[in-house]
A and B are shown apart, each in its own frame.
Chain A
Amino acid sequence: MRHIISVLMENEPGALSRVVGLFSQRNYNIDSLTVAPTEDQSLSRLTLTTSGDDRRIEQITKHLNKLVDVVKLVDLTEGAHIERELMLIKVKAVGAQRTEVKRATDIFRGQIVDLTNNVFSIQLTGTSDKLDAFIAALGESVVLEVARTGVSGISRGEKVLAL
């Protein structure tokens, strides 16, 4: 199963490489990874998606917790949560394609953030599935470039991941 794990860690040099190194060292896979400082400059929040059975996920969270730089973590997929990914996508848009792409963008609630005579640059946020669906809807032949941030997430309700 796919899991989204959010990690609060010390905003120190080397911290990220320890997390990434752990995954390659122990043969765990990372499907996506995103990291940035939080409102507290001394902390970074790293969110990654990975997959595996329960035993494996338990080992992953235990080993992450063992890293000295890791302060706290949560497996968001254990409870109700919100997940978002942002995608910037550059697509071919000439002639009749222009209205078609525009329509698809509207349906997916994306925004065209830049354009030329030949291309649109579109911004889209949502779950990873939604982003996948948008790419599929446009068709591979129009897609010129894709930049995705990887999944970020937060739990629903009053539960917070903080110190």
Chain B
Amino acid sequence: MDQLSGGEALIRALHDEGVDIIFGYPGGAVLHIYDAIFNQDKVEHILVRHEQAATHAADGYARGTGKPGVVLVTSGPGATNAITGIATAYMDSIPMVVISGQVESRMIGSDGFQETDMVGVSRPVVKHSFMVQNPADIPMVVKKAFHIATTGRPGPVVIDIPKDITDPKIKFDYEYPREIKMRSYAIPDKGHSGQIKKAVDALMTAKRPMIYTGGGVIQGNGSELLAKLVRKLGFPITNTLMGLGAYPASDQQFLGMLGMHGTYEANMAMHYCDVLLAIGVRFDDRVTNSDVTKFCPDATILHVDIDPASISKTVAADVPIVGSVTSVLKEALAQIQSSNQKVDENSLKVWWDQINQWREKDSLHVTHCEDGTIKPQQVIQTVHEITKGDAFVSSDVGQHQMFAAQYYGFDKPRRWINSGGLGTMGFGFPAAMGVQLAFPDAISVCITGEGSFQMNLQELATCMQYQLPIKIICLNNQALGMVKQWQDMQYGGRHSHSTYAESLPDFKKLAESYGHVGIKIGKVSELHSKLTEAFALKDKLVFVDVMVDPEEHVYPMAIKGGAMKDMILSKSERT
């Protein structure tokens, strides 16, 4: 057994837990830990340029790989800077472990230099948190933290460590616990067979069935089983913003994303369905259009989720099923296989005819400009074409995010990396770093806006240090476009503090000043060639500043206070 200090034990425990990369930023309270990092080579540390970026990078790593992201920050401002990223991960149920330094135990509560009550400040946005009391507790706390972060409904866990706990002079016998038992933490696993039977019966007798799945299917690695079930049933399926890629977008049965900026056919099919199978979703207000009394008026709702508290939270479920996505899907498939029930083919045909009629509306149709102005949607379509639909696409928040979600067409899970729940501008770029570090040979694209990018642009330096060849595609509409769109639609076009064209930086030069490549695209005629050029620079970070039509809005858009069938389809058409 090795004699280790708390700092050494922490890093060793991370290694024993299978962690090979952490994202962090040093400071006084974590200096012992940084010294322990210096003396080993098992766990790689990535030095970001802002703690918020460390959390988003770890988050992107986690979303891309399914493994927990790990963050190390110092006390006080280091810890508070991490909060936005923790909250982002919390809202989207992303497994993450955040280690924060703390002032010495004897100083706690004295308003010491760089003291913040991190356990208190982070409490509403973590799944759980620990304050380490003894160096020898470190292995067990780390084990528990990873267990909690990665099981059940995943989420971020904070480990706050006072500086004296990592003191190199205090050593103890290190042993990493093989397993743990926590009497107060049970993980729901298998769904109740009887409930699954009820759901299967409802599906088999459905006349207008609809399947609606979300981030839970991706987090729960249920995509393959989902595809099996959907194909077996022949039912239409839609994905939430968080669930894109769980079912291949290029498949005929996929109706596109639903919700506030969902397709006409997905939202119509939701509204008129008679049986709704909802898996790993939480009936978010961006889906239901906030007035839940108007939501799916005719539907029997079958809701599968690993978190019992998600079920019947906003919309009452007729058949609640608590369990992991994979266990429930497996059992449902087995039940369908072994029963001689058949779906109602005749009704299903009538239903598909109706859906195909809705599809003809072509709600994502892009009208090109005659004067050569680039439509933002065209940029996404071109990126899709050049990357053959096989890139990891991170995004920030705003119109560009919605265009990416609508037009990229994700065929695989874990390829679409975005902050859906918290909607954090500044997320995309650092998240793309996490993805690139996890998959050095893959194409990591960040679709951003000139507003969002400026919220974490300091990471251009990190990308230079670690040679991360991310492709940043900035849909530059010279405005906080999504805000401006709402102001156009709801505030008589009064653009209060949403434009700043006169003060935008020259992004090409900005990228170049960090040693990267910058490309500016202004006309549609050069869109394809210049984007191709950017993606051909395989080992370089390229910032592509694409000047897009500043007047463009995201459509379809749900009509506030309406049902899902109520949408604005363009500047001149509503349902």
User: Contact residues of A with B, CB < 8 Å?
Assistant: 9-10, 13-14, 17-18, 21, 25, 55, 58-59, 62-63, 65-66, 68-71, 163
Contact = CB atoms under 8 A, between A and B. Distances in A.
B321 to A, nearest CB: 15
A115 B351 CA distance: 82
Given A21-B124, A59-B313, 14 more contacts: A9-B184, A14-B119, A55-B312, A58-B312, A62-B309, A65-B308, A66-B307, A66-B309, A68-B128, A68-B182, A68-B184, A68-B185, A70-B184, A71-B184
Contacts of B313: 59
14 contacts: A10-B184, A13-B131, A14-B119, A14-B131, A17-B120, A21-B124, A58-B312, A59-B313, A62-B309, A68-B127, A68-B128, A68-B184, A69-B184, A71-B183
Contacts of B307: 66
Given A10-B184, A25-B124, A68 B148 contact: yes
A79 to B, nearest CB: 21
B131 A63 contact: no
Contacts of B182: 68
Q: Give the bracket for the number of chain B residues in contact with chain A.
A: 10 to 19
B436 interface: no
B444 to A, nearest CB: 34
Contacts of B368: none
Given A13-B131, A59-B313, A18 B123 contact: yes
A66 B154 CA distance: 12
B129 interface: yes
Given A9-B184, A62-B308, A66-B309, A14 B124 contact: no
A25 B307 CA distance: 18
B309 A59 contact: yes
A62 B185 CA distance: 13
Nearest to B130: A14
Contacts of A66: 307-309
A21 B123 contact: yes
Contacts of A63: 309
**A-B pairs with lowest CB-CB distance, top 4:** A62-B309, A68-B128, A71-B184, A25-B124
A156 B560 CA distance: 50
A63 B153 CA distance: 13
A154 to B, nearest CB: 21
Contacts of B148: 68
Nearest to B307: A66
Interface string B137-167: 0000000000010000000000000000000
A67 B129 CA distance: 11
Interface string B160-186: 000000000000000000000011110
Interface in B110-140: 119-120, 123-124, 127-129, 131
Question: Which of B131, B183, B316 has the most CB atoms of chain A within a 10 A radius of its CB?
Answer: B183
A107 B316 CA distance: 49
A70 B312 CA distance: 22
Contacts of B124: 21, 25
Nearest to B153: A66
Contacts of A9: 184
A16 B70 CA distance: 27
Contacts of B183: 71, 163
B320 to A, nearest CB: 11
B118 to A, nearest CB: 11
B358 to A, nearest CB: 33
A113 to B, nearest CB: 36
Interface in B265-314: 307-309, 312-313
Interface in B307-364: 307-309, 312-313, 316
Question: Which of B120, B129, B308, B312 has the most CB atoms of chain A within a 10 A radius of its CB?
Answer: B308
Contacts of A65: 308-309
Interface string B49-86: 00000000000000000000000000000000000000
B79 to A, nearest CB: 16
A21 B123 CA distance: 8
Nearest to A64: B309
A67 B125 CA distance: 12
A63 B182 CA distance: 18
Contacts of B123: 17-18, 21
A16 to B, nearest CB: 12
A127 B313 CA distance: 32
